[in-house]
Amino acid sequence: MKYHIFFFFTILAEKGKTNNWLAEKTGKNRTTVSKWCTNAMQPTVETLFEIAQALEVDVRELLVSTKK
């Protein structure tokens, strides 16, 4: 199944968190996090797990299937 990382900016908003907060939690650059949130860039699988841990969600919640 093909996946597209797309959803974590929505989870950030639902949890009242910002890009800056996520950058601090993951140790990543704020510009990088912004690019993830706009889908201009994709995080690595390892980073996805870091994001999921920071957001206290299952990593699968960060993925949206592109299969119809």
The encoded tokens of residue 49 equal: 């797990």
CATH number of the domain residue 17 falls in:
1.10.260.40
Name the pTM for this structure.
0.80
Q: Which bin fits 45, alpha (ψ -120 to 50), beta or left (φ > 0)?
A: alpha
**Predicted confidence band at 65 (pLDDT cuts at 50, 70, 90)?**
low
- Interval 9-56: pLDDT, tens: 888 989 999 999 999 999 999 999 999 888 888 899 999 999 999 999
Which residue range forms the structural domain that includes residue 48?
A: 3-65
Count structural domains, the chain: 1
